[in-house]
Amino acid sequence: MEILHTSSDNIQMTPDPFTKSSLFEQAVRAILRPLVRALIAQGVTATAFYRIIKQTYVEVATDAAGDAATDSQVSVMTGVHRRDVKTLRAADAAADATVARKSSTLATVVGRWITQPDLSTPTGAPSPLPRSAATPPSFDHLVQSVSRDVRPRAVLDELERQSIVSMDADGLVHLNPAALVGPADLDQKLHFFSENLGDHMNAAVENLLADGPSPFLERAVFYNHLTKTSVTAIEQDVRTIGIKALQDINTRAAHLQNADKTDPDATMRFRFGVFLYSDDDGPADNISDQKSFPR
C-alpha cells in the first residue's frame, strides 16, 4: 500500500493557473471523469495515480526542456520536488515495449490480410488462407512478410485465442469479422487504449494551443433529445460508414507506405480513427435542444 506524505519542504509556491480559468478546470475535470472511472475499475487509488501524474509531469517537462535540463529546472517547471524528479528521471520508460511489439505485429498481419489484393476474393473480402504452402499465399507467408522474428504458429495461436481467426476442417485459416472490432486480450486493449486515446488527445491539445486555425482534424457531431431506437439506428450507420472509411484509409496508406519505404524522408506516422458514444441524459424536460455539425 502506498501512503502519500506531504511536508512543507516539497510544497512549491507557484501560482495556480486554475484560478485564472475556471473553464479550463471544468474541461480538465470532464476529461478526467471517465479516466478515473477506469482507474477505480482497475484498482488504482488516488495515491497511486498521483505517482503516475508526477512521473508524467517529469517526462513531459524533460521533453520540453531537453535532456540537458537540470533536476532543479524540471522541479520549477512541474512543482515536483527535486528529490522526486531525480528518482523519476532515472526510471525505466520501456516497460510497455513487449506489449507494443506484440500488438503491432498482430495488427499489421490483419491489416495486410485485409488490404493486399492477392489475399482477397474478387469481391474484396479477405480470402481464407492455407496454414502453410510451398508458395504464397499462405498464413505462414503472410506472417513472415511482416516479421521473421516471430513464429507464424505463435501468431496463429494468439489470433485464434482472441477469436480473430479460425481454422476449418480443410486447414484453411479464416479472418473473422471480430478482426475489425478490436483485440480481446486485455494487455492489447490497454495498449490501443493508450495509443488511440493518446493521439486523439494530442490532436485536441495541439488544436487548443494553436494560435491560428486548428492544425489537426478533430470534429464530432452531437445531438440530444433522441430515443434509444433512433440512437441505435445512428450507431448502425456509424459502424457501416466508419468501418468503410477505416478500410479505405488502410488500403490507401498501405500502398503509400510500400512506395515510400526506401525514401529517407519517410519518418512520419499518422493515426485516423472513428468513435461513437451515447448516454441517457435523463428526462428531456431538463435538457435544451443541442445539435452541432461539425464541432
What CA–CA distance (Å, rounded) separates 103 from 111?
Answer: 12
User: How high is the mean pLDDT in each 10-residue block of the chain (295 residues)?
Assistant: 38 54 86 92 88 91 89 92 88 56 78 84 86 91 88 90 87 78 66 88 93 92 93 94 90 91 94 92 66 60
AA identity, residue 26: Q
Omega cis (within 30) before 137 = yes
What domains, with CATH codes, occur in the chain? 8-89 (no CATH), 97-180 (1.10.10), 186-292 (no CATH)
The answer to whether 82 touches 71, Cβ cutoff 8 Å, is yes
Q: Find out whether 167 and 192 touch, Cβ atoms under 8 Å.
A: no
Q: How do strand 129-130 and strand 172-175 relate by DSSP bridges?
A: antiparallel
Predicted confidence at residue 129, as pLDDT, reads 94
pLDDT at residue 238, as a whole number: 94
CA-to-CA dists, residue 14 to 75, 79, 80, 213, angstroms: 11, 7, 11, 31
Q: What is the DSSP letter of 120?
A: B
What pLDDT, on the 0 to 100 scale, is given for residue 288?
62
pLDDT of residue 121: 84
Torsional sign, CA 75, 79, 84, 89: negative
How high is the pLDDT of residue 76? Answer: 92
Q: What is the pLDDT of residue 256?
A: 94
192-199: Cβ within 8 A, 24+ apart: 192/103, 194/96, 195/271, 196/271, 196/273, 199/271, 199/273
